[in-house]
Chains A and B, each alone.
Chain A
Amino acid sequence: MANSHQLKRVDFIFRNENDWEKVLSTTIKKKPQELINALISSELKGRGGAGFPTGLKWKLTAESKEKQKYVICNADEGEPGTFKDREILSRVPYKVLTAMAICGYITGANKGYIYLRGEYKFLLPELNKVIDEFSYYCKEINLDFNIEIFMGSGAYICGEETALMESMEGKRGEPRNKPPFPTQAGYMGKPTVINNVETLVHSFTIFKYGAKKFYDLGVQYSRGTKLFSVSGDTPKPGIYELELGMSLQDFVYEFGDGDTKAVQVGGASGFLVPRKKFKDAAIGFKGKLTGISLPTGGSMMLFNSSRSMFNVLDNYLEFFREESCGQCTPCRVGCQQLLLGIKAVKRGEKPASYLDKLLRLTETMQYTAKCGLGQSVANSFSSIVANFREEMIY
């Protein structure tokens, strides 16, 4: 049962092991198929929030007959409340690079890019140093793989994988139509594996310790560990590596300040859970057996009773209004309508029932927006409005 799961701290990601060279050189002696099987049996899912099975992604790319392929590390960490990827890149960058190179070996890609968030420019000198050292070693072991950093310019949407590739191709960062998916036609129209920083680090763990070690952590459908960026009204803000599948109750017990009113799981594009649902909610990907399962890119924001949930939502919507790329109608206009709509209700210019119209709008956005940004605005909006409706009105 999900809600009986205790909070378990783990230390894989930041465990400082200076053996990446060994991991790399021994891993690439194995057959790609064997490695893909390991990844698949580990049940590792993408840690950016969407949760696509990583092994399948690599497998699809590996199966493509195209000559040129790419590996991209998505380091455009922009979800409000997340700061884990920055920490990984500062503390254990070589794990990321090693995972990328192994991915290149498995899929047949000889080129990797790190798409680094514009705001993380300060990481650049150190990262470049590590990349130099890494390339040197790749040459030594005759591994044809090189890595470059591509600097983003500060648009949230560019964390969306296809917008990220558009941006890398020198175009305006706008999401593409899917299909085709990046595994078929990604960067420069070539098959591309694109993974979040953290996902790559987990794959390092799997290659080093074996799939079983990873699989044995977490719960069904949500295997392994996850880095959580904990912020808000908490005495212990920071980054924690925890097993997936914990109940929110346990999480709040550990990180709350005793007066936690709600937790926003997954940042502005995630879900808000009010106190009364803490014990029913588990942190992990959607599965058939769990109650409420909440996927997350790692952002956990705690709010205590001093917070106005109207202000919280207002803040999120302000963010979305600005960070929508503006390309598709439901997202561009929808975000503006939601923001102005709740303000109008608050001011009494629209009746309370207007919130229901806005809820229907978020449904339309969820069904029809072109990419995950527009689709997920519904999550925070509907979960906040449904649980704190009176705070929206009075």
Chain B
Amino acid sequence: MSKKLNMTINGLPVEISAGKTILEAAEEQGLKIPTLCHHKDLCVAGNCRVCVVEVTGQNRLSAACATPCEEGMEILTNSLKVRNSRKQIIELLLAEHNADCTKCYRNGNCELQTLASEYKIMTQDFLELVPLKNYTIDAFSPSIIKDDSKCIKCQRCVRTCAELQGVNALTVAHKGDQMKITTFFEKAMRDIVCTNCGQCVNHCPTSALVEKNYIEEVWEAIANPNKHVVVQTAPAVRVGLGEELGLKPGKRVTGQMVAALKRLGFDSVLDTDFTADLTIIEEGTELLTRLKKVLVEKDESVTLPMATSCSPGWIKYIEHMYPEHLENLSTCKSPQQMFGALVKTYYANARNLEPENIVSVSIMPCTAKKYEAFRPEMHDSGYRDVDYVLTTRELAILIKQAGLDFNKLEPVKYDRLMGESSGAAVIFGATGGVMEAALRTAYEIVTGREVPFENLNITPVRGIDGIREASIKIENPVKEWAFLDGVELKCAIAHGLVNAKTVMDSVRAGTADYHFIEFMACPGGCLGGGGQPIPTNPEIRQKRSEAIYAEDEGLLIRKSHENPEIKKLYKDFLKEPLGEVSHHLLHTQYTKRDRY
């Protein structure tokens, strides 16, 4: 169908479909052209110029990432002119970069470092520019550290923040030698619209943006004999961690991860999936209650559509961008925070521990979770509900530091009491997962029957489209929910904040006739979270997603309300969904924030 172009690459004739760039054409031929500012998630920039190639007949070189193929083009990707130019560009970047690699957080996973190594830059002939610039490091945010001395100005973070997230917290300012990536009025990251989603971290080729790590704090807690250190792991961590430890994307490592956490010395290794199930019960009940109030009681004070509240990046986004719509948010805390609040109450009671001696650690695919744990209101247990949040990447560091041979670890199950979970909880890790989990439970509560999809897989809510819609018709409900008979429950799913913006604009305009919307700050949902292994790209996210759904399929219990530990939790402690204890421990409120 598409037109073919005839060209040569390095003398070999090739046929390329029209519309491709030189970079894509080379890639099709299995030829790698180095890039820095280029990223498959983002628009073409052509800033770094590392990918330059020679087009025969032209004196100037062309950026392969930004130059479309043309009929008859003769391309040289490795001529002497190309090599020399590329090498000089890498040298220039190194001259402007704080190349103290041995003391760098991204040491070993830095695209500039890799290039410097490939091109064997062994000396620094150009003048060092870093010492002239008086850089300060912005480490005020609980989630993200910004170090301009490591920045190579490729603008990947800027494009990420604008294109994937629509937040525009990061921008380019000044020109010439003063040009830098900065924030509104050059304020600290904690004082701006930044949602802490960490997508900038995931897309940064160097160490200019990294997560704030709490590795030493966790090691200290583990080493302290007076502390009982509990760790929870989020659903998406198990499908990402392997990549950081040398495995291919899409490898599930749940059992080995639990084994590793035990070897690291955590006193109890538990599963955030447990509170994901709990979230479904609480949030599902909240949704049904809201529906009842709106449809039956005609209560105008109740707001629909209800929006999910488990993604802290999304929460901060709506607080800044749509502060008049906070009523749409479910009041449920995220699974991480529910877990934290229960660890220092329910768990402490059951285990006969003093809550002040419990250190609650969570392993999250997310950098915004660090911020969430630090929110002042997250103290409902009487203590800080979650003490330290580590990303998937940080957990891999712990495992490497402990010298564990990850692949040789025998899979182990989670500890009990808050370690049991369902397939519904696992799919929280993927975009649409919360929706699917909620529908599995809500539908069954309302009708007494399972969702009418083969093998519980609600396929319409799955996929990678930025915004998806689905509806499910309720027929023959049980008596209590008779008013829902014939109602078409309409839902929407948005992932990546730029898509959240589109959906929220329709909510604001009053044109969104949904009942329930799932929002995830990151592309792909948590599996593409800002704390997941780097690199990330659409293919990698797809593999992680497949792994998540495979894990769900393999589990015996696939509905949140069938989780036995959840049943026990309600029986022994919470009594009922949206009850008084739940209200106190599991629900929260939100803060209106300014944009500037």
Report which A residues bind B (CB closer than 8 A).
155, 157, 172, 174, 177, 179, 320-330, 332-337, 340-341, 344, 357, 360-361, 364, 366-370, 375
Contact = CB atoms under 8 A, between A and B. Distances in A.
Interface of B: 44, 46-50, 52, 59-61, 63, 66-68, 81, 84-85, 88-89, 92-93, 95-96, 125-127, 129, 152-153, 155, 172, 174-179
Nearest to B59: A367
A326 B175 contact: yes
Residue of B68, B89, B152 most packed against chain A (CB within 10 A): B89
Contacts of A341: 126-127
Contact of A328 (B49, B60, B125, B126): B49
Given A367-B85, A370-B46, A370-B63, A337 B177 contact: no
Given A172-B172, A177-B63, A322-B177, 6 more contacts: A325-B179, A326-B177, A329-B50, A336-B177, A340-B129, A367-B85
A333 B67 CA distance: 23
A369 B92 contact: no
Given A327-B47, A368-B85, A333 B129 contact: yes
A367 B47 contact: no
B61 A333 contact: no
A211 to B, nearest CB: 31
Given A328-B46, A329-B49, A369-B49, A340 B176 contact: no
Contact of B177 (A332, A361, A366): A332
Contacts of A357: 125
B49 A333 contact: no
B126 to A, nearest CB: 5
A371 to B, nearest CB: 10
Contact of A368 (B61, B68, B96, B179): B61
A360 B87 CA distance: 12
Nearest to B54: A367
B127 A367 contact: no
A80 to B, nearest CB: 15
B176 A326 contact: yes
Contacts of A367: 52, 59-61, 81, 85
B48 A155 contact: no
Contacts of B129: 333, 336-337, 340
Nearest to A336: B177
Contacts of B81: 367
Nearest to B126: A337
Contacts of B179: 324-327, 332
B443 to A, nearest CB: 46
A370 B63 CA distance: 8
B75 to A, nearest CB: 15
Contact of B89 (A327, A360, A368): A368
Contacts of A332: 96, 153, 176-177, 179
A337 B175 contact: no
Contact of B92 (A174, A334, A344): A334
Contacts of B88: 330, 360-361, 364
Instruction: List the 5 closest pairs (A to B, CB-CB), nearest first.
Output: A326-B179, A177-B66, A333-B92, A322-B176, A364-B88
Contacts of B47: 327-329, 370
Contacts of B127: 337, 340-341, 344
A321 B178 CA distance: 9
Contacts of B174: 326
B175 A322 contact: yes
Contacts of A325: 175-176, 179
B49 to A, nearest CB: 5
A245 B263 CA distance: 82
A344 B125 CA distance: 12
Nearest to B70: A179
A333 B174 CA distance: 14
6 contacts: A157-B175, A327-B47, A344-B127, A364-B85, A367-B61, A368-B52
Contacts of A330: 49, 88-89, 92
Nearest to B89: A329
A329 B127 CA distance: 15
A332 B154 CA distance: 12
A196 to B, nearest CB: 22
B21 to A, nearest CB: 10
A328 B48 contact: yes
Given A332-B153, A340-B127, A367-B59, A155 B44 contact: no
Contact of B153 (A326, A336, A360, A364): A326
B175 A329 contact: no
Nearest to B94: A333
A366 B46 contact: no
A18 B219 CA distance: 85
Contacts of A157: 175
B175 A323 contact: yes
A202 B81 CA distance: 40
A344 B179 CA distance: 23
Contacts of A322: 175-178
B92 A179 contact: no
A324 B175 contact: yes
A315 to B, nearest CB: 15
Contacts of B59: 367
Nearest to B68: A179
Contacts of A366: 60
Contacts of A155: 175
A346 to B, nearest CB: 13
A47 B68 CA distance: 29
Contacts of B52: 367-368
Contacts of B152: 329
Nearest to B92: A333
Contacts of A335: 176-177
Residue of B67, B126, B129, B175 most packed against chain A (CB within 10 A): B175
Contacts of B63: 177, 370
A341 B127 CA distance: 7
Nearest to B158: A172
A86 to B, nearest CB: 23
B176 A370 contact: no
Contacts of A340: 127, 129
Nearest to A176: B46
Nearest to B36: A329
A68 B179 CA distance: 35
